[in-house]
Amino acid sequence: MEQVKAVNVQELKRMQDDQFDFQLIDLREADELEICHINGTHIPLGEIDVRAQEIARDKPVVLHCKTGRRSYMAALFLQQQHGFDNLYSLDGGIIAYAKEIDPNMTAY
């Protein structure tokens, strides 16, 4: 079975702080984005297939959602259907980020 690579929130924060060259994609819906966000390109999960060309192939790409379930499924889909090999799912999603990295962030 094909596996999805993952990063935890500490690794993501280090990538952000070090200004590492990567793409961050937020798979949540627009109303979720209004509650809290950590920047990144907004591509809702339902649009991932038709917007796959917006996803970088030449650098690491971190996909995130609320809990990590949608980002895992999106990474698996993109690997299988579009041949990506540079995708990472954010373990625990933005909930983990809010809890462990930015406690002032509004969680939902």
Active-site residue set: 65
Q: Residue 63 burial by CB count (10 A; 0-12/13-18/19+): exposed, middle or buried?
A: buried
Task: Give the tokens for residue 1.
Answer: 């079975």
User: Measured between alpha carbons, how far is 33 from 40 in angstroms, rounded to an integer?
Assistant: 11
Q: Cα dist. 98→37, 73, 105 in Å?
A: 10, 22, 5
User: Measured between alpha carbons, how far is 84 from 56 in angstroms, rounded to an integer?
Assistant: 9
